[in-house]
Chain A
Amino acid sequence: MKPAPFAYARARSLEHAIELLGESEARVLAGGQSLMATLNMRLSSPHLLVDINHIHGLSEITRRGAAVEIGALVRHAQAENSELIRREAPLIARALPHVGHPAIRNRGTVCGSVAFADPAAELPACLLALGGEVEMAGANGRRVVKADEFFRGLFETALEPSEVLTAIRVPAATPDTRVGFAEFSRRLGDYAIAGLAACARAYPNGLGDVRLAFFGLGVTPVRARLAETALTGTLDEERVATAVAALEQDLTPHDDVQASGKLKKHLAGVLLRRVIQQLAEPL
Chain B
Amino acid sequence: MRVHTQDIALTVNGETVRHTVDARKSLVDFVRDDLFLTGSHVGCEHGVCGACTMRVNGVTVRGCLMLAAQCDGARVETIEGVSDSGELSDLQRAFEQRNALQCGFCTPGMLLTAQELFAGNGAPTREQIREYLSGNYCRCTGYHAIVDAVETVAKQRNAQK
Contact = CB atoms under 8 A, between A and B. Distances in A.
Interface stretch (B58-66, B75-83, B152-160): B58-66
Given A5-B4, A8-B23, A100 B67 contact: no
- Between B6, B65, B69, B117, the greatest number of chain A beta carbons within 10 A of the residue's beta carbon is seen for B65
B23 A102 contact: no
Contacts of A189: 134-135
B50 interface: yes
Contact of A104 (B6, B62, B67): B62
Contacts of A53: 70
B13 to A, nearest CB: 18
A211 B128 CA distance: 31
Given A33-B62, A103-B60, A7 B23 contact: yes
A40 interface: yes
B161 interface: no
B93 interface: no
Interface in B110-133: 113, 116-117, 131-132
A1 interface: yes
B46 A101 contact: no
B96 to A, nearest CB: 24
Nearest to B69: A8
A192 B46 CA distance: 17
Interface residues on A, range: 20 to 34
Contacts of A49: 23, 67
Given A107-B65, A188-B134, A7 B3 contact: yes
B113 A6 contact: no
A8 B69 CA distance: 8
B45 interface: yes
B90 interface: no
A8 B5 CA distance: 8
Nearest to A37: B46
Given A41-B46, A104-B135, A106-B59, A6 B65 contact: no
Given A32-B66, A36-B67, A107-B66, A7 B4 contact: yes
A40 B49 CA distance: 14
Contact of B23 (A6, A41, A100, A104): A6
Given A3-B24, A6-B23, A51 B70 contact: yes
A36 B134 contact: no
Contact of B64 (A29, A40, A47, A48): A40
Nearest to A2: B24
Contact of B61 (A39, A48, A106): A106
B158 to A, nearest CB: 21
A4 interface: yes
Contacts of B66: 32, 36, 107
B104 interface: no
A178 to B, nearest CB: 26
Contacts of A103: 50, 53, 59-62, 113, 135
Interface in A199-214: none
A3 B60 CA distance: 22
User: Considering the complex of A and B, which 7 residue pairs feature the smallest CB-CB distances, nearest first?
Assistant: A101-B135, A7-B2, A8-B23, A37-B46, A103-B60, A36-B65, A106-B59
Given A102-B116, A103-B61, 10 more contacts: A5-B23, A8-B4, A29-B70, A32-B70, A36-B66, A51-B70, A77-B59, A102-B117, A103-B135, A189-B135
Interface of A: 1-9, 29, 32-33, 36-37, 39-41, 47-49, 51, 53, 77, 97, 100-104, 106-107, 187-189
